[in-house]
Amino acid sequence: MSDLFAAVAGGREEVRDGMVLLRGYADSIRLLPLIAAIADSAPFRRMATPGGRAMSVAMTNCGALGWISDARGYRYEATDPLTGAPWPPLPVPFAALATAAAAAAGFAGFAADACLINRYAVGTRLTAHQDRNETDFAHPIVSVSLGLPAAFFVTLDDRRGGRTRSVILEDGDVVVWGGPARLAFHGIREIKPGHHPLTGPYRYNLTMRRAG
């Protein structure tokens, strides 16, 4: 494990079967400049839902594949539809963090090839959904929270309207889910007003996936 995350490692908590929360595992001071560099070439944008509405959360990607939504649906693409260029490469510290966090959560050998970057302004949210556009659900999802806190919820029984558990995710917290939780419904409740010393009025989230 590199000092990028070992230095800030905190507690380990099971959120539900197959989902582990690693408190304070990621170092936002190291990660945020990498996000800014990615956004210089692949800007944050509010993608359109298949139904034609703009999503409230602004998104971009890095890695060999990037997740997109538009009138044709949800999918991964190798190029950014905004620029026509390949998505910026997955920074080595992102990939290393994903592999180490997955191993710490019990998913050894994870190698991410895609990273969706979400930017939440105050008042935005992400409704309940499954991450299911990846080709092989044997691989876990690694989610990194940076900046303002957020209430993350997950269903306990894989039904959209099922019972949920909520946890507050703070700057540096990493959640890993796979196995029995891989297709759990999850989302983010409305971000409360606040100011974070590193991100101001925003929360950033990286979800690292094996998409292809």
Ligand X SMILES: O=C(O)CCC(=O)C(=O)O
Quick one: which H or E segment has residue 104? helix 92-104
- Of the pair 2, 159, the CB lying nearest ligand X is at 159
What minimum distance in Å lies between the beta carbon of 177 and ligand X? 10
Q: Say how many residues touch Mn ion, by CB under 5 A.
A: 1
**Three-class SS of residue 52?**
coil
What minimum distance in Å lies between the beta carbon of 195 and Mn ion? 26
- Burial of residue 127 (CB within 10 Å: 0-12, 13-18, 19+) is exposed
- Of the pair 99, 207, the CB lying nearest Mn ion is at 207
Query: Could you identify the residue written with the tokens 């994870």?
Result: 110
Say how many C-beta atoms besides its own lie within 10 A of residue 175's C-beta: 26
- Of the pair 42, 209, the CB lying nearest Mn ion is at 209
Quick one: which H or E segment has residue 183? none
- Of the pair 9, 116, the CB lying nearest ligand X is at 116
List phi, psi (to 5°) of 29. -60, -35
Contact set with ligand X (CB under 6 A): 116, 118, 126, 131, 143, 145, 152, 186, 188, 205, 207
What minimum distance in Å lies between the beta carbon of 149 and ligand X? 11
Query: Which one among 27, 113, 131, 173 touches Mn ion, defined by CB under 5 A?
Result: 131
What minimum distance in Å lies between the beta carbon of 67 and ligand X? 8
Residue nearest to Mn ion (CB): 131
Quick one: which H or E segment has residue 152? strand 150-155
- Of the pair 30, 125, the CB lying nearest ligand X is at 125
Q: Does 134 bind Mn ion (CB under 5 A)?
A: no
| Partner whose footprint covers residue 210, from ligand X, Mn ion, none (CB < 5 to 8 Å by kind) | none
What minimum distance in Å lies between the beta carbon of 12 and ligand X? 18
List phi, psi (to 5°) of 10. -120, -135
Q: Name which of 57, 42, 131 is nearest 90 in CA terms.
A: 42
List phi, psi (to 5°) of 174. -125, 130
Residue nearest to ligand X (CB): 205
Quick one: which H or E segment has residue 116? strand 114-121
Kindly list the residues in this chain that would bind Mn ion in the complex (CB under 5 A): 131
